[in-house]
Structure 1
Amino acid sequence: MNTDAPFAPWEDETATPLIKFSNVTKQYGTFTAIDDVDLKIYPKEFFALLGPSGCGKTTLMRMLGGFETVTEGSITIDGVDMDGIPPNKRVVNMMFQSYALFPHLTVAENLAFGLKRSDMPKSEIDGRVEEMLRLVQLKKFASRKPHQMSGGQRQRVALARALAKAPKLLLLDEPLGALDKKLRRETQFELMDIQEKTGTTFVIVTHDQEEAMTVASRIAVMDHGKLKQIDTPDRIYEAPNSLYVADFIGDVNIIEGQVTKSEGEAAELSWGEGKPAIRGMAGESLTAATSGAFAVRPEKVAIFSDEPMDRHNRVNGTVEDIAYLGNMSTYYVRLENGSLIKSQVANNRRIARRAITWGDSVWLSWTDTAGIVLAS
C-alpha cells in the first residue's frame, strides 16, 4: 500500500514556486498577446499550457525562455527576476518541435555539443553523454546520425540533449507534433517517466487536449492571452469553471436555459416549457434567475428504449446518427427543442444486431451529479 502523500505543492500555501508570473502582459503594438497573467509553477511539476492556435501559449513560453521581453509585470525563476537576463544565462533549456539536431553529427556528438561549450569539466562529458543515452534508452544508437533514426528516436535524442546540462526547467514546444498518433501516445508515457526520474520541472505547450490530460500534473487552459482555468486534469474535465473550458476540453453536451436554483453544490436549469428542470452540480459564481447552461459528458448519458421512470433527469428524442468506433458507439439524438445530444456506450460485447438504431424514439438520462450547471 502506497502511503506517500499525493504530489500537490500548489495546495500548500508555504510551498515556494519555481516560476512566478506576476501581472505579466505582452503587447505587439496595439495587439495584446498576453493579458495580465498571474501564474505559479512548482518544482518537479509537469505543467501544460493548453489552448487553440493564437491563444498566447507559445508567447508565454518564449517569455519564460527569454526569447521575448515582458511589456508589463515580472517573471521570476527560482526567486530571480528574469528581466534583462538572456536565454543562455537562465537555468532553462528549450526543446523545439523541429528537434534542431545537427545532421552531420552522431547521436553522442549531438549530446556532447552543448556540454563542450559549457563549464562542465571535459573529463565528465563522456560520462554525462552515456548517462543521457541510458536515460532515453538509446545507448546502442550512439554512433548513428539523425537521418538513420525514426521520428520517435530523434525526439528522444532532442530530449536527452535538452536535459544534458541538468536545467532546473525544461520548456517543450509541441514536442510530439511530428509523430503519428500511436507513437505520440507511447512517447507521452516516456516523457512522464523521464520527467519523474530526473525531477526536472517540465512546461509543455500543446493544443492537443488528450496529450495535456495524459502528461500534466496541472493544466492552464488559455484563450486570447488569458488563463481561463488552472487545475489538475480531472478537475478541468469534471469541474470546468466556464462554458469555454467545458466546450474546449473533450466532448461535451450543452443545453442552454435559465438557472432556477443554486444552493450549495446543487443547481437546476429550466430548459423547455413544460419540461422538468435539469438537476446538476453548481458551477462557480452561479446565481439563480440568470441565463445558464448545463454541460454533461457523452459517456455519462445513458440511452434507453423505454422511459426510465426512476430517474429525474430524462429527455426524449430521436436517433439521428450512430458512430461506431470499435470500442464504443456514439448515439446522436435530436431532442424536441432541436438540441443534439450525444450518448456514448461502451461496446463490451460483439454487436450482432443493435437494440437501438437509426430513427428510433429513445430516452436519454443521467444522474443528478453527472453534469454541471454553468453561467452563460
Structure 2
Amino acid sequence: MNQSAEKTVFAPWHDPDETPLIAFSNVTKRFGDFTAIDSISLDIYRREFFALLGPSGCGKTTLMRMLGGFETPTSGTITIDGQDMAGVPPNKRAVNMMFQSYALFPHLSVWDNIAFGLRRDRLPKEQVAARVEEMIKLVRLDKFARRKPHQISGGQRQRVALARSLAKAPKLLLLDEPLGALDKKLRQDTQFELMDIQEKTGTTFVIVTHDQEEAMTVASRIAVMDDGRLIQVDTPDRIYETPNSVYVADFIGDVNLIEGNASPRGDGKTLLHWAEGQPPLVAECPHAPETQARCTFAIRPEKVSISKDRPSDRTNVIQGRIEDIAYLGSLSVYSVLLANGTRVKAQTANNRRLSRRELTWEDDVWLSWTETAGIVLDK
C-alpha cells in the first residue's frame, strides 16, 4: 500500500453518480401573505454535516421543520432517500430532531432518557441495554449514567440529548441551534465533539445556526440564507475566500468593503477606481465587468499588511492613520482612517510576547496587499 497516498477528500456534491440523501425541489412555504421559503432547490448528501446559516427570520428553521415533517411545503417536493415526504408524518420519517432546549425528562436518569425512544418502539430489553451502553460510551457519559439531568452540567445535558437522538440510528439528525445555551469555551469544545460523533456514526447532520464561527467549524458545506432564499451554498473555505456577493462577504467573518468603479485591466485582473487622486486597486473578479461598472472590493483584515514604511513590492498600497487598536490576545486589529474617510482594518498575529509597539494611535501607516488577496464583487 502506498503510504504517501493522499486521504480521499469528502466531496460527494462533485460526484455526478452520487445520489443525494435529501433533495429540496422548488420548495416554497407561505404563511398567509408572508413567503418564508422562496422556491428553494437544494441537495444534501449522505454523511454530510450540513449547516443552514443566516440571521433571525431568514427561513432556516422553517426549512428544517419541513424536513422533519413539522411544516408542510406550500409547493415543491422534499425527498429523503428517494422517498417523497408529502403526507409522511414526523414519526414515520427516518429523521430525528434535537432541540435547543434538549427536552430531557427531569425525572428519568441519563440512562433512561437515552433508552426512552427505544422502549417506545418495544425493542427487546437486551437490545435496548446494548444500544444505550453504546451511546453512553460514544458521548463519554459512563460515570453519569444514573444521574438525573439536574445533577449534570449543561454540556453534559447536551450530550445526553445527542445520544438520545442518535439511539434509534436515524438516517438524518436535525440540530436546531444545539449549542446556543452553552458558554463560549464549552461551545467551542462541544463543536469538535459533535464533529467527532458525526464522523463515528456516519449519520447525516443538518444544523441550523446563526453563529458563523460555529458553521465554519463543523460543516462540510454551508447554505447562507436571507429572506427565504439561498444566497450561496459551498464549503466553508470557499464561502470565506470567494463569496459570491457583498451580503455573504459581510455576513461571514470580518471584512473590509470599498466601493468604486471597476473596469478590466486586460490580464484577467480588475481595476477598482475608488477615490480621486488615488491609484486604482487591483484584484480578481469572478464576474469581471466588460465595461466600467459599480462594484465593491472585499478583503479580509488578516490579508492586509500594515507598516510605517511604504512597501516597494506590492501593487496595492494606500496610506492612512491609525484611529483605533484592538488587542485580542493572539492578534491585534488596527482600524486605519484613509484620506477620503474610508476605514480599513488590518490584522496582525501577536506571535511575540510583546505586541507590536512600533505601531500606535495616530501613527501614519501604509496598508498593502497582493493582487490576489481581495475580490471584486458585482452584487
Give the equivalent residue in structure 2 for 1:62: 65
Give the equivalent residue in structure 2 for 1:230: 233
Work out whether residues 270 and 288 of structure 2, in 8 Å CA contact, stay in contact via their aligned partners in 1: no
Q: CA deviation at 1:137?
A: 0.6
* Residues 41, 275 of structure 1: alpha-carbon distance in 2 compared, 3 angstrom cutoff: same
Quick check: 1:3 aligned with 2:41? Answer: no
Quick check: 1:103 aligned with 2:99? Answer: no
Instruction: Give the unaligned 5+ runs of structure 1.
Output: none
Q: Match of 2:286, as an amino acid?
A: G
Q: CA deviation at 1:14?
A: 1.2
Q: Matched residue of 2:194: which SS? A: helix
Quick check: 1:299 aligned with 2:298? Answer: no
| C-alpha distance in structure 2 between counterparts of 1:282 and 1:323, whole Å | 31
Q: CA deviation at 1:268?
A: 1.8
Quick check: 1:179 aligned with 2:198? Answer: no
Work out whether residues 96 and 165 of structure 2, in 8 Å CA contact, stay in contact via their aligned partners in 1: yes
Indicate the RMSD between aligned Cα atoms, in angstroms.
1.3
| C-alpha distance in structure 2 between counterparts of 1:304 and 1:288, whole Å | 34
Give the equivalent residue in structure 1 for 2:376: 373
Q: Matched residue of 1:74: which SS? A: strand
Quick check: 1:139 aligned with 2:142? Answer: yes
Give the equivalent residue in structure 1 for 2:164: 161
After the TM superposition, which of the residue ranges 199-208 and 121-130 deviates more from structure 2? 121-130
Work out whether residues 262 and 288 of structure 1, in 8 Å CA contact, stay in contact via their aligned partners in 2: no
| C-alpha distance in structure 2 between counterparts of 1:307 and 1:176, whole Å | 46
Give the equivalent residue in structure 1 for 2:222: 219
Instruction: Give the unaligned 5+ runs of structure 2.
Output: none
Quick check: 1:253 aligned with 2:256? Answer: yes
Q: Match of 1:369, as an amino acid?
A: T
Give TM-score scaled by structure 2 length.
Answer: 0.97
Give the equivalent residue in structure 2 for 1:93: 96
Work out whether residues 75 and 81 of structure 1, in 8 Å CA contact, stay in contact via their aligned partners in 2: yes
Give TM-score scaled by structure 1 length.
Answer: 0.98
Q: CA deviation at 1:4?
A: 3.0
Q: CA deviation at 1:233?
A: 0.3
Alignment of 1:10-25 (within 5 A): 10-25=13-28
Give the equivalent residue in structure 2 for 1:116: 119
Alignment of 1:280-359 (within 5 A): 280-284=283-287, 286-351=289-354, 354-359=357-362
* Count of aligned pairs between the two proteins: 376
| C-alpha distance in structure 2 between counterparts of 1:36 and 1:65, whole Å | 18
Q: CA deviation at 1:280?
A: 1.1
| C-alpha distance in structure 2 between counterparts of 1:263 and 1:53, whole Å | 42
Give the equivalent residue in structure 1 for 2:209: 206
Alignment of 1:44-83 (within 5 A): 44-83=47-86
Work out whether residues 259 and 287 of structure 1, in 8 Å CA contact, stay in contact via their aligned partners in 2: no
Q: CA deviation at 1:118?
A: 1.3
